[in-house]
Amino acid sequence: MVLKIFFPQCCNRADSGLLVGRWVPGFDSVVVLAVIHYPFIPGQVKKYLSEMQSAIQLELTVLGSWSMPKDGQEGMDSFLKDLSTIFPQGRWLQLSRELGKRGFACDDEKEKVIFIHYDQRKVMLSHLHPAHGQEPAAEGVSELRLVFQTVAQSQPLFFLDKYDDGPIKLTHWQSEGREASILVELIKQASVPMCLVLTWLLSLWTQLRILNMWPVRFVSSKLSTCVQLSHRTEHLQTISSPRRAQQHADFMRKANIFVSFLVDIALGLLLISWLYRENRIGRLANTLVPVADHVAKELQELLQWLMGAPAGLKMNRALDQVLGRFFLYHIHLWISYIHLLSPFIEMILWYVGLSACLGLTFALSVVSDIVALLTFHIYCFYVYGARIYCLKIYGLSSLWRLFRGKKWNVLRQRVDSCSYDLDQLFIGTLLFTILLFLLPTTALYYLVFTLLRLGVVLLQGFIHLMIDIINSFPLFAGGLRLFRPYRLAEGVKFKVLCEEPGMSLHLMMEINPLKLSTAVQQYRIPTYSCYPKDSWAALCKKLFVGDLIYPWTPLHKGSKED
């Protein structure tokens, strides 16, 4: 069998010493983690290794000896052989390298050896993702995964370096001295009290919400601003938990939420700084009422057109007049309310615009709510038209069955034949005829108002799509993939390093990063929006029958009126 030695690149030029690492269980391979230099006291080395073993929970052992003789250092061979008696273990490796030659030699091994060079810092920081279609639980027996886990778990081993005053002098990736950034350390120190403060504030806020009674809760479930507020509160609760994230997925989720929250607020502040300059709010408020007036006027003209002979169709005059006047009166009421509110609109807009400092998503949800409120009359007309049409259709279908002598059996949920009395048949046929001839009028009103409602729904849907994208896009994962691609690893790549004749095989192991699309898909933040579950066919059927369509309902509300 071939022995695979995973050798860190930082130890290529290390002075002679002992190799410390781990034998990978179940495979014929070994991971070298560090080199301990001469002079050392074997007792202290053993004590240090047992301390490390309890800290890391891995079986760290002395693997063998490493010799890179400098000028004038001869006669190490017998010394190195004697070392193997001091440290008891199963196998003893003796690696050596000569200055001027690029290859290593592994003495004393009759079998073949492969040296796999790896970049210790990158392997330590990276997370190997499970391959396509495999669950993480089934991954235990992969050799590479064990190697990655070994290096990642050995972080405490890399704290001591060459310049420390202790008895042990190690070479590993941090052996030139540990680097740290002041900003990062300050942020780490400040983050714990900040998290506690945030948790306390959020607990106050949630206690406040419990006191809300049913009407407020009903209203807040309809307004998308309140839904967005509760969603962000959940996010903040996730971030502000003072426990460190243990799993990689939890850490990525926290980081993604944090970064997208910051970007959201930054965009919101940018919007505020643009909006509150040059009295744009005043101009916006001044155009809002004329726009509402204009919409109402257009609706009135539309209704006048429907009350006449729309597109050449001949309507039933009486029903036409009744429906038309009913809707016209509604529009008149709506316009009066708008005019009543018009002096306060600028102030309301000014204060509501300030909510954009909570994030761009809030500004967009406020816009969506304003659109919903301004087109409330269209929604009402749609509901009236749909209900009348729905009643008519159900009545028609039931009387059509009577016309043919059949009946709907509620117990058996099927159509059965039934013998009706003569007067039942007479009244039924009369009603059927009336409903049938009134159908075109109601159908036309229903069609017009459904189209208007669908237009408004499309607009609101587009705004909600924007909000959803901002909410769910994992900016941290995308940025990590672009700037530190080795941290999200899909696999590894090997390159054969040019060999000299007679030397063993040397391979260079590099990290193969995850594709950007896979990274974004995997680390998407889950959001509250549920896209319409109906297929196009179901939607068309609902429209035809006259059932009310609700394009979206918040997920946590549960019941959808389908």
Partner 1 sequence: MSEEKFTDINGKPISLECRSHSSFCREFVVSAPKVSLRAVMVCTCAVWLSAYAAFFVTKNTAVLSSAIVTTLVGMMVHIHLIKIDHERLLIVGSLGVQVSSCFASGRESATFIEMSSIKDIVINEAIHMQRVIYYLCILLKEPSDPNGVSGVVPLFQSSKPRLNCLVKIYKSCQEILGQC
The residues binding partner 1 (CB under 8 A) are: 1-2, 4, 28, 112, 114, 116, 138, 141-144, 491-494, 496, 499, 504-505, 507, 512
C-beta closer to partner 1: residue 396 or 492? 492
Helix H or strand E segment including 508: strand 505-513
Distance in Å, CB of 120 to partner 1, minimum: 19
**Which tokens hold the place of 332?**
């008149």
- Nearest approach in angstroms of CB 9 to partner 1 is 18
Nearer to partner 1, 2 or 469 (CB): 2
Six-digit token pair at 372? 């919903």
102: which 2 tokens?
């690029």
Name the burial class of residue 347, with classes exposed (0-12), middle (13-18) and buried (19+) by CB atoms within 10 angstroms of its CB. exposed
Which residue, 463 or 505, is less far from partner 1 as judged by CB? 505
Q: How far is the CB of 138 from partner 1 (least distance, A)?
A: 6
Burial per residue of 359-389, b for 16 or more beta-carbon CB atoms within 10 angstroms, e otherwise: bbbbbbbbbbbeebebbebbbebbebbbebb
Structure tokens, 256: 């993604």
Query: What SS3 state is found at 171?
Result: strand
Q: How far apart are the first and last CA of the chain?
A: 66
Shortest CB 113 distance to partner 1, Å:
10
Q: Which pair of structure tokens corresponds to residue 366? A: 């406020």
Q: Distances in Å between the alpha carbon of 242 and those of 201, 238, 239, 290, 369?
A: 14, 9, 8, 52, 35
CA dihedral for 201, 203, 205, 208, sign (positive or negative): negative
**Can you say whether the dihedral through the CA atoms of 204, 210, 211, 213 is positive or negative?**
positive
Q: Choose between 39 and 140: whose C-beta lies nearer to partner 1.
A: 140
**Closer of 226 and 505 to partner 1 (Cβ):** 505
Shortest distance (Å) from residue 58 CB to partner 1: 21
CB of 515 to partner 1, least distance (A): 10
Phi-psi region of 310 (alpha: psi -120 to 50; beta: other; left: phi over 0): beta
- Shortest Cβ distance from residue 495 to partner 1 (Å)? 9
- Considering the complex, state which of residue 116 and residue 435 has its C-beta at the smaller distance from partner 1: 116
Nearer to partner 1, 141 or 537 (CB): 141
CA distance to 13, 63, 68, 70, 496, per residue, from 100 (Å): 11, 25, 11, 11, 20
* Minimum separation from the CB atom of position 2 to partner 1 (A): 5
With tokens 């009103």, the residue in question is: 445
The C-alpha atoms of residue 474 and residue 538 are separated, in whole angstroms, by 33
Phi then psi for residue 6, to 5 deg, are -90, 110
Closest approach, Cβ 136 to partner 1, in A, equals: 13
Helix axes 345-353, 280-307, angle to 10 degrees: 120
* Nearer to partner 1 among residue 26 and residue 43 (C-beta): 26
**Looking at beta carbons only, is 293 or 510 nearer to partner 1?**
510
In the complex, least distance from residue 30 CB atom to partner 1, rounded to whole angstroms? 13
Encoding tokens for residue 258?
A: 């944090």
* Nearest residue (CB) to partner 1, 176 versus 499: 499
Residue 143 or 547: which CB sits closer to partner 1? 143
At its nearest, how many Å lie between partner 1 and the CB of residue 64? 20
Query: Is cis: bond before 39, omega within 30 of 0?
Result: yes
